[in-house]
Amino acid sequence: MVPPLPPIDDIVAAALAEDLGVTPGRIRVAVDDFELLARDVTSAAAVPSTARFTGAVVARESTVVCGLPVAARVFEMLATAVGAPDDVDILPLVAEGAHVSAGTPVLEVEGNARIVLAAERTALDFLMILSGIAAEANRWQTAAGATLRVHDTRKTLPGLRALSKYAVAVGGAHNHRAGLWDMVLVKDNHLARAGSVSAAVAAARAGTPGLRVEIEADTLAQALEAAGAGADVVMLDNFDDAALASAVRELRDTGATCEIEASGGIRFERLSALAATGVDIVSSSAIALAPPVDFGLDETKT
């Protein structure tokens, strides 16, 4: 199931503004002229203002398609910014989250050629980045199987975290915390100042009632203390596979009901072994930092 799309207009406006060399506010204001399009100096010199473009965005390699609504919004926002909101028509040709092969058209584009060409790179960049993340998330979760949940992390491109996490979910993997505000995650630098694992859990419960509390454990002793103190999640950081399996057994032998997460140095090749250890969650930054997938805009009518 495709998750809800996060708010995107600010992100799209900033991306278009970056490419056109203007402020994002200029993209958010409709002006009934083509002055903004003159910032695309190549198209302004070579393309008549009345020229038309009909074509399709095509996947150059197999992937999980993600970002179709974002790419469409790029064209729509630029058309609106130049006072021509009805001068570009966008039609998705596949569903968000679809698995496609190389050569598959995914988005039909028709409209004023100057608008289409000025928006092209930004629209493709969103599709490339988000589809790359979705495809990698799908690859990891498929390899992990049904009993091991693959989570992303906060290691994302600045400004693109919400969309990155959206892409992870489109690909079938899972989101860790969205930011610093929606979950307590006590790491080594926090523990060094909290006094103890138990004290950190107690302080988190008192200070942030209702939020999940996770403790990063570098040792089995820390993990057992965290579980005993009532942490919701115990993260076993940089444990090898044998140590993970042993820690899971010891935690479960205590009757702990917390979720157990493996993190640190997680590679795709370890997923089947990690699933066998009994951990509930594996988290990795590799998913949201996946390489982009190639897309191109091909003209179909000249």
- Residues involved in catalysis: 121, 155, 187, 216, 237
- Indicate the SS3 state at residue 284: coil
Measured between alpha carbons, how far is 122 from 1 in angstroms, rounded to an integer? 26
73 and 128 in contact (C-beta within 8 Å)? no
Measured between alpha carbons, how far is 187 from 184 in angstroms, rounded to an integer? 10
Residues in the chain: 302
Q: What DSSP string runs through 71-87?
A: HHHHHHHHHHHTT-TTS
Q: What angle is formed at CA 237 by the lines to CA 234 and CA 238, rounded to 5 degrees?
A: 150
Measured between alpha carbons, how far is 300 from 53 in angstroms, rounded to an integer? 9
93 and 106 in contact (C-beta within 8 Å)? yes
Task: Show the tokens assigned to 25.
Answer: 């506010």
**Residue bearing tokens 């989570």:** 151
Contacts of 7 (CB under 8 A, 6+ apart): 162
110 and 49 in contact (C-beta within 8 Å)? no
Residues paired with 132 in a beta bridge: none
